[in-house]
Structure 1
Amino acid sequence: MVVFDVSKVFSGRAPQILAALTGTLTALSDGMQYGWSAPIIPVLQSRSTPVHITNSDIVWIENIYLLGGLAGIPLTLYMLDKFGRKNTMLIAAVENLIAWLLVMFASTIDLVLVARFLTGLASDTNFVATPVYIAEISEKKIRGRLGSLIHIMMLIGILVIYGIGPFVSIAASSTVGVGVLVTQLLTFSFMPESPYYLLVKNKREEARKALQILRSSQDVDEELKEIAKVVEEENKVRGRPLELLTVKSNRKAFTIMTVLNFAQHYSGISVMLMNIHIILKDAVPIIPPRNAAILFSVFMLLACMVSALLIDSLGRRVLLYLSSFLTGASLLILATYFAFKYNGINVSAYNWVPIVAVMLYALTFKCGLGLIPIVMTAELYPTNVKALGCTASDAMYLIAATSSIYLFYDLQNKYGMHVPFFLFGCCCIFSGFFSVVVIPETKGKTLEEIQKLLKGEVMIVGNGVRSEAETGYEKRSLLSPLGDVVGHLDYGSVANDVLNK
């Protein structure tokens, strides 16, 4: 049984927690923007709207957000190494603030579209820079929990806009977004920069001061030496784009993150968020779509918060494969319901199935598959290619998001609602097996140890020595109490064989 003691986990780590909390306020604003179209488009279609729109405008309002994200990829890559992690996050906050102000005072659809594009740009920057910053300032024992704050803040933002968007004016809801970002700019500006980044820029004394603040201690020489050694070794081979594929450890990291980013969206999360009112149409007698959307976001938030508490004790890998399998099951249940309905079977007595399946999806998706990838993004890449690797992974994330939405509409129109959900369910099952066989456990490891794990170097574990070149990853039991039977199985060697070819 896992026992979670808050006092032991977070004792003496207040500066790290404060830096992560203030740094992720932009994610709260991003969540509001991500869920903005669902409650606000009906307001824009009403008679009292400050901005008159057409049906074609609705498509652009939803899609230009993703286009802004794609446009932000090269800009993010440049800023992360040029201006640093902290300053890049502050730039993203300013961009988001401008977007909210444009929406607040918009009188034409053109201004709304400009704001949405700028929002996508800022979100892309934020969701690359923030995980990197948190991973580099955090101690290994709480890195997973602090990294989870990004998703928790985003889900709070979705809940906020779902809760207030339909009931207040557009200007009023925009004021909430402005307030969040002003708070971040007034607080996060005083937080220290990443010690890793400062050492990359040969600012050793500044790195020492930053580490002293973050660790609440003056005695940081040993950790500073360890970080400096890692940065020095990685800077000897400065990252070039091709090294994501030519260097074995980078290739493993990129492969893992590409699969996980596609798994996130091919589990149907963007489809769910943008079409929940259509998906739950049959459940209207039980719960109105507006209320269902709020309940859906609440369940996701609760699941994410529980997982954030468990991620550094249970581990990333366990949460990931359990979440993938259970999410796949919920999607297959939903797909089966739609398949029966499509084939003319009377399902009116079972109109509770979609709401149960969707709420089960919210709980299972956010407990792992919807949370772990963003935590692992900043853990798997070495410092010398971290900006490049995280940005490339973000590009895969945006491509997966766009293609999954297109595929959903195409398959739904041609073959029925059940077909895309069968596909999404199978993709989740595949990602579960991928997590079991390929993904390493990064829980409790420093960023340097994670790189050794990916490179297959010898690591000292406890009182014994383990050759990662031979075993790849930890040998562990997958089924208890059959650990003695299956514990000898070497899943890591299979992973290495796959990724080294």
Structure 2
Amino acid sequence: MVVVDISKVFSGRIPQILATITGTLNALSDGMQYGWSSPIVPILESPSSPVKITNSDIVWIENTFMLGGLAGIPLTIYLLDKLGRKNSMLISAVENLIAWLLLIFASSSEVILIARFLTGIAGDCNFVATPMYIAEIADKKIRGRLGSLIFIMMLLGILLIYAIGPFISISASSGVGAAVLITQLLTFSFMPESPYYLLVKNRKVEARKALQILRASEDVDDELEEIAQSVEKENESRGRPFELFTVKSNRKAVIIMLVLNFAQHFSGVSVILMNLHMILKDAATIIPPSIIAIIFSVLMLVACALSALLIDSLGRKILLYSSCFTTGVSLLMLASYFACKNNGINVDSYNWVPVVTIISYAITFKCGLGLIPIVLTAELFPTNVKALGCTVSDAMYIIASVSSIYMFHFLQTRYGMHIPFFIFGCSCLLSGVFTIFYIPETKGKTLDEIQKLLKGQLMSVNGACGSDTDNERIPLLS
């Protein structure tokens, strides 16, 4: 595949930024699919809908998207190892494009479910390959900011479908999603592959060229040698799949990602994004649900962009535990409102509470809990098991999402809306405690330094970020 030397046109870190932006356009499409059910299901339920659906179809429309991701895990593992990060991202874009085309011409609920399942397969590959690609091409001083862009793009997609979904046809909104992916295929195809991956495959000449393009400099010998030594050391020490669980440092990374992925979804994010219009309608808010949904997605986007700017200065850890605690408070307030309403208490004078709590949720969740886990996914696993580690982490993410969605619909139908939101709120508070005691700070550290930190080795990190202390040792689960 042709690679264009964009370093001849752009200097400094701009090539890295361009590669990240064009590479994350697929995440914008995934965001549209993630939030798709919230504005589109009411259209499908209307008498004028071109496709007739039942109540059970609604749950399947939400979960088929996630189950597709679970089914796509074996394909993701194969593509990442055999074809590389870049090609995996491009294949994911093609799969997503086919899904949007199916939705454009959908005439039955079965076609919609097939499209959603295919999108899930593509999304799994994309959200494993893209964070890996970004972490491996980015300078360590901006790795956190660039790693955050995948979630910013996803939020742009959610905002886009919330903004256009209720007001145009399903075919038209699907056409917008297809156009996004065509743009990615026409631009990202010319970007370089990850130098890390090329060195793993012993393609040193291509790795040097890729690094020269990404750094906009011919002088990359020192960094290339550093990457090569890191890859060589990791490949010599271990690399068999089961060592993701038998090697202590890898096991620590798996435990951290297990907790964080469940923390994300048991904060209610999938439930809220896929059912926001229904939740707001049930709450009888003072503002129309379609308007609140747009405000909600805008604030999530702003909060994510703000935290992306702060992630390499304040660090991952403080953003994460602050987000957990404040998000938990917002959810418990919303649960209390629903509890009062469901028990016959007149809440007409308090119908501003759902608006305030949903808006505060948008800000607090995306300032940490909605952003940091995917950044850590790409940072915590060593190169030789990174593909498997990121894929296992993604599987945890999908299982947590499906579990939270089923739990929500089960409890909400039988006991009321307040029960699942009480559970979500308590989950956030417990996640904040876990973060304080067990998650290491990775800001300003190279990928090699992060591995030393996970192994509990004594180290001195006095980089530009400057807040790390000498001989740092972080307490972690064994």
Summarize the Cα distance change of 1:179–1:267 in structure 2 as closer, same or farther, 3 Å threshold: same
Residues in 1 aligned to 2:60 and 2:281: alpha-carbon distance in whole angstroms: 24
Aligned to 2:326: 326
Contact 1:458–1:465 at 8 Å: present in 2 too? no
Aligned to 1:31: 31
Aligned to 1:310: 310
Summarize the Cα distance change of 1:112–1:211 in structure 2 as closer, same or farther, 3 Å threshold: same
1:472-491 pair list within 5 angstroms: 472-473=473-474
1:300 maps to a residue whose letter is M
Moved more, 13-22 or 59-68: 59-68
Does structure 1 residue 211 correspond to structure 2 residue 216? no
Aligned to 1:446: 446
Aligned to 2:20: 20
Contact 1:380–1:450 at 8 Å: present in 2 too? yes
How far 1:44 moved relative to its partner?
2.5
Aligned to 2:471: 467
Q: Any idea what the Cα deviations from partners look like across 1:13-35, whole Å, max 9, x if unmatched?
A: 00000000000000000001111
Residues in 1 aligned to 2:431 and 2:368: alpha-carbon distance in whole angstroms: 11
2:69 maps to a residue whose letter is G
Aligned to 1:3: none
Residues in 1 aligned to 2:42 and 2:305: alpha-carbon distance in whole angstroms: 30
Summarize the Cα distance change of 1:174–1:412 in structure 2 as closer, same or farther, 3 Å threshold: closer
TM-score for the superposition, normalised by structure 1: 0.90
Residues in 2 aligned to 1:11 and 1:460: alpha-carbon distance in whole angstroms: 32
1:5-404 pair list within 5 angstroms: 12-281=12-281, 284=284, 286-404=286-404
1:138 maps to a residue whose letter is A
Contact 2:104–2:175 at 8 Å: present in 1 too? yes
Aligned to 1:482: none
Summarize the Cα distance change of 1:47–1:346 in structure 2 as closer, same or farther, 3 Å threshold: closer
Greater relative CO, 1 or 2 (CA 8 Å, sep 6+): 2
How far 1:245 moved relative to its partner?
1.8
Aligned to 1:407: 407
2:471 maps to a residue whose letter is S
Which secondary structure does the structure 1 equivalent of 2:237 belong to? coil
Residues in 2 aligned to 1:450 and 1:326: alpha-carbon distance in whole angstroms: 28
Q: Any idea what the Cα deviations from partners look like across 1:178-198, whole Å, max 9, x if unmatched?
A: 111111001000100000000
Residues in 1 aligned to 2:107 and 2:336: alpha-carbon distance in whole angstroms: 45
How far 1:36 moved relative to its partner?
1.1
1:43 maps to a residue whose letter is I
Q: Any idea what the Cα deviations from partners look like across 1:262-287, whole Å, max 9, x if unmatched?
A: 00001011111122233323654511
Residues in 1 aligned to 2:351 and 2:48: alpha-carbon distance in whole angstroms: 35
Contact 2:66–2:120 at 8 Å: present in 1 too? yes
Residues in 1 aligned to 2:267 and 2:99: alpha-carbon distance in whole angstroms: 30
Q: Any idea what the Cα deviations from partners look like across 1:160-207, whole Å, max 9, x if unmatched?
A: 111111111122111111111111001000100000000000001110
Task: Write out the 4+ residue segments of structure 1 that deviate beyond 4 Å after TM superposition.
Answer: none
1:131 maps to a residue whose letter is P
Summarize the Cα distance change of 1:414–1:465 in structure 2 as closer, same or farther, 3 Å threshold: closer
How far 1:465 moved relative to its partner?
8.6
Residues in 2 aligned to 1:263 and 1:142: alpha-carbon distance in whole angstroms: 26
Contact 1:279–1:354 at 8 Å: present in 2 too? no
Summarize the Cα distance change of 1:349–1:312 in structure 2 as closer, same or farther, 3 Å threshold: same
Moved more, 269-278 or 198-207: 269-278
2:164 maps to a residue whose letter is I
Summarize the Cα distance change of 1:55–1:460 in structure 2 as closer, same or farther, 3 Å threshold: closer
How far 1:289 moved relative to its partner?
1.1
Residues in 1 aligned to 2:277 and 2:50: alpha-carbon distance in whole angstroms: 24
Moved more, 358-367 or 37-46: 37-46
Contact 1:283–1:355 at 8 Å: present in 2 too? no
How far 1:326 moved relative to its partner?
0.4
Residues in 2 aligned to 1:425 and 1:460: alpha-carbon distance in whole angstroms: 38
How far 1:56 moved relative to its partner?
3.3
Residues in 1 aligned to 2:199 and 2:367: alpha-carbon distance in whole angstroms: 35
1:130 maps to a residue whose letter is T
How far 1:115 moved relative to its partner?
1.1
- Length, aligned pairs only: 465
Contact 2:11–2:216 at 8 Å: present in 1 too? no
Contact 2:38–2:278 at 8 Å: present in 1 too? no
Residues in 2 aligned to 1:386 and 1:276: alpha-carbon distance in whole angstroms: 35
Residues in 1 aligned to 2:422 and 2:285: alpha-carbon distance in whole angstroms: 25
How far 1:370 moved relative to its partner?
0.4
Structure 1 vs Structure 2 CA RMSD: 1.8
Residues in 1 aligned to 2:297 and 2:462: alpha-carbon distance in whole angstroms: 42
How far 1:11 moved relative to its partner?
7.7
Contact 1:456–1:467 at 8 Å: present in 2 too? no
Residues in 2 aligned to 1:204 and 1:334: alpha-carbon distance in whole angstroms: 55
Residues in 2 aligned to 1:24 and 1:247: alpha-carbon distance in whole angstroms: 32
Aligned to 1:428: 428
Contact 1:15–1:216 at 8 Å: present in 2 too? yes
Unmatched runs of 5 consecutive residues or more in structure 1: 1-9, 474-494
Residues in 2 aligned to 1:287 and 1:102: alpha-carbon distance in whole angstroms: 34
Residues in 1 aligned to 2:285 and 2:265: alpha-carbon distance in whole angstroms: 29
How far 1:362 moved relative to its partner?
0.7
Contact 1:44–1:53 at 8 Å: present in 2 too? yes
Which secondary structure does the structure 1 equivalent of 2:112 belong to? helix
1:320 maps to a residue whose letter is L
Residues in 2 aligned to 1:187 and 1:136: alpha-carbon distance in whole angstroms: 19
Summarize the Cα distance change of 1:102–1:281 in structure 2 as closer, same or farther, 3 Å threshold: closer
Residues in 1 aligned to 2:336 and 2:445: alpha-carbon distance in whole angstroms: 42
Summarize the Cα distance change of 1:46–1:371 in structure 2 as closer, same or farther, 3 Å threshold: same
Which secondary structure does the structure 2 equivalent of 1:460 belong to? coil
How far 1:78 moved relative to its partner?
1.1
Aligned to 1:418: 418
How far 1:242 moved relative to its partner?
2.2
How far 1:42 moved relative to its partner?
2.5
Which secondary structure does the structure 1 equivalent of 2:460 belong to? strand
1:408 maps to a residue whose letter is F
Contact 1:283–1:352 at 8 Å: present in 2 too? no
